[in-house]
Amino acid sequence: MYNPHQQEVTCIVCPVGCKLTVVRDEHEPEGYRVLGSQCKRGEHYGIKEVTNPTRMLPTTMAIRGTHLPRIPVRTAEPIPKAKIFDCMDEINRVELEAPIKIGEVVLENVAGTGVDVVATRSMERVTEPLAVHGG
Ligand code: SF4
């Protein structure tokens, strides 16, 4: 039966994938009790997942001046799940210019989250089109 004071969450911190039950409990220091976790990391994850769920955001951005049209990027830290669409919207409005180095910040403070977006591979500048051999 649905209980507004508890939520079922699957822990994704490690491959064990414990099924957690996060229960509202005023007597706990953080206001919640976590059942079913095998470690402290799971307890922390369970509480965060019901209070402020966050995710890493791996995606790609448009780039010009190189041999591919898009470059893989990700957020430097997890961002609030509720901000994912705003972040994608901002990321999709940017076009980068090669060269870009791996780890370089390509977009600061995406969607006001305080988190930067970084490149996850380097891309050299290529001014000549790739040679086509044949015939
Ligand atoms: S609670 Fe601990 S053991 Fe279980 S999935 Fe989460 S991190 Fe892994």
Specify if 99 maps to a domain.
yes
Q: Count of domains in the chain? A: 2
The alpha carbon of 6 and the centre of ligand 1 are apart by a number of angstroms equal to 19
* Cβ atoms of 100 and 119 closer than 8 Å: yes
Residue 69 belongs to domain spanning: 58-119
* Same domain (yes/no): 77, 28: no
Residue numbers of the chain with a pLDDT score lower than 50: 135
What pLDDT does residue 129 have?
60
Specify if 131 maps to a domain.
no
Specify if 129 maps to a domain.
no
Answer whether the bond into residue 99 is a cis peptide, omega within 30°: yes
What pLDDT does residue 94 have?
97
Ligand 1 site, CB within 6 A: 11, 13-14, 16-18, 37-39, 41-42
What pLDDT does residue 4 have?
77
What pLDDT does residue 127 have?
79
How far is it, in rounded angstroms, from Cα 133 to Cα 99?
A: 25
Specify if 10 maps to a domain.
yes
* Cβ atoms of 45 and 30 closer than 8 Å: no
Specify if 130 maps to a domain.
no
